Protein backbone atom coordinates (compact mmCIF):
# COMPACT_ATOMS: atom_id res chain seq x y z
CA UNK A 1 0.00 0.00 0.00
CA UNK A 2 1.55 3.33 -1.00
CA UNK A 3 1.59 6.56 0.96
CA UNK A 4 0.55 9.71 -0.92
CA UNK A 5 4.18 10.88 -0.85
CA UNK A 6 5.25 7.62 -2.59
CA UNK A 7 3.09 8.51 -5.60
CA UNK A 8 5.31 11.54 -6.36
CA UNK A 9 2.47 13.83 -7.37
CA UNK A 10 -1.09 13.70 -6.04
CA UNK A 11 -2.84 12.91 -9.33
CA UNK A 12 -2.35 9.11 -9.23
CA UNK A 13 -4.46 9.00 -6.05
CA UNK A 14 -7.58 9.76 -8.11
CA UNK A 15 -9.69 6.68 -8.58
CA UNK A 16 -7.81 4.73 -5.89
CA UNK A 17 -9.73 3.10 -3.08
CA UNK A 18 -9.23 4.80 0.28
CA UNK A 19 -8.03 1.59 1.88
CA UNK A 20 -5.25 1.33 -0.75
CA UNK A 21 -3.55 4.51 0.54
CA UNK A 22 -1.66 4.36 3.84
CA UNK A 23 -1.74 7.11 6.44
CA UNK A 24 -5.10 8.76 5.73
CA UNK A 25 -6.82 10.44 8.68
CA UNK A 26 -10.45 11.51 8.55
CA UNK A 27 -11.02 15.24 9.08
CA UNK A 28 -12.16 16.16 12.59
CA UNK A 29 -15.92 16.29 13.14
CA UNK A 30 -16.00 20.08 13.54
CA UNK A 31 -14.19 20.65 10.25
CA UNK A 32 -16.48 18.17 8.47
CA UNK A 33 -19.53 20.01 9.84
CA UNK A 34 -18.20 23.40 8.72
CA UNK A 35 -17.21 22.22 5.23
CA UNK A 36 -20.27 20.07 4.71
CA UNK A 37 -20.37 17.19 2.26
CA UNK A 38 -21.72 17.90 -1.22
CA UNK A 39 -22.33 14.19 -1.87
CA UNK A 40 -24.01 11.50 0.20
CA UNK A 41 -21.50 8.97 1.54
CA UNK A 42 -18.64 11.47 0.99
CA UNK A 43 -15.74 11.33 3.44
CA UNK A 44 -12.81 13.75 3.65
CA UNK A 45 -9.29 12.84 4.75
CA UNK A 46 -5.91 14.35 5.54
CA UNK A 47 -2.99 12.62 3.87
CA UNK A 48 0.69 13.04 4.64
CA UNK A 49 2.21 16.35 3.55
CA UNK A 50 4.13 16.16 0.28
CA UNK A 51 6.98 18.12 -1.25
CA UNK A 52 6.17 19.26 -4.76
CA UNK A 53 7.78 22.11 -6.71
CA UNK A 54 10.22 22.54 -3.81
CA UNK A 55 7.41 23.44 -1.40
CA UNK A 56 5.58 21.59 1.38
CA UNK A 57 1.88 20.96 0.71
CA UNK A 58 -0.94 19.78 2.96
CA UNK A 59 -2.96 17.15 1.12
CA UNK A 60 -6.69 16.59 1.58
CA UNK A 61 -8.62 13.89 -0.19
CA UNK A 62 -12.34 13.42 -0.70
CA UNK A 63 -13.92 10.07 -1.47
CA UNK A 64 -17.39 8.80 -2.29
CA UNK A 65 -18.06 5.14 -1.56
CA UNK A 66 -14.36 4.88 -0.59
CA UNK A 67 -13.12 5.92 -4.08
CA UNK A 68 -10.96 9.06 -4.14
CA UNK A 69 -12.41 11.67 -6.50
CA UNK A 70 -10.72 14.88 -5.31
CA UNK A 71 -7.20 15.85 -4.24
CA UNK A 72 -6.77 19.30 -2.71
CA UNK A 73 -3.38 20.88 -2.03
CA UNK A 74 -2.64 23.77 0.30
CA UNK A 75 0.83 25.33 0.32
CA UNK A 76 2.60 25.56 3.65
CA UNK A 77 4.76 28.68 3.89
CA UNK A 78 7.99 28.32 5.83
CA UNK A 79 7.85 32.00 6.85
CA UNK A 80 5.56 34.98 6.06
CA UNK A 81 7.97 36.28 3.39
CA UNK A 82 7.93 32.84 1.73
CA UNK A 83 4.25 33.00 0.79
CA UNK A 84 3.56 33.40 -2.93
CA UNK A 85 2.05 36.79 -3.72
CA UNK A 86 0.62 35.87 -7.15
CA UNK A 87 0.90 39.58 -7.96
CA UNK A 88 -2.44 40.38 -6.39
CA UNK A 89 -3.68 42.66 -3.66
CA UNK A 90 -6.71 41.69 -1.55
CA UNK A 91 -9.85 43.64 -2.34
CA UNK A 92 -11.02 45.96 0.43
CA UNK A 93 -14.51 47.45 0.27
CA UNK A 94 -14.70 51.15 1.12
Is the separation of the CB atoms in 13 and 4 below 8 Å? yes
* Residue 87, domain member (yes or no): no
Rg, Å, the chain Cα set: 15
| CA dihedral sign of residues 82, 10, 14, 17 | negative
Q: Is residue 89 part of a domain?
A: no
Residue 88 forms part of a structural domain: no
Question: Is 93 domain-assigned?
Answer: no
Q: Whole domain around residue 38: which residue ranges?
A: 4-80
Cβ-contact 48, 59 below 8 angstroms: yes
Indicate whether 71 belongs to any domain.
yes
Distance between CA atoms of residues 13 and 53, nearest Å: 18
Question: Region 80-88: what's the mean pLDDT?
Answer: 58
* pLDDT 10s digits, 26-67: 988 888 888 887 788 999 999 888 877 777 888 889 999 999
Q: What total of structural domains would you count in the chain?
A: 1
The sheet carrying 25-26 orders its strands as 25-26, 42-52, 55-64, 67-76
* pTM for this predicted structure: 0.67
Q: What is the dihedral of CA 22, 25, 26, 30, to 10 degrees?
A: -170
pLDDT given for residue 34 in this prediction: 86
Amino acid sequence: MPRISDLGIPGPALGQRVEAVVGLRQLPLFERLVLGAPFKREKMYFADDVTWFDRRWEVRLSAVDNVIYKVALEARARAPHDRPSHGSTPFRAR
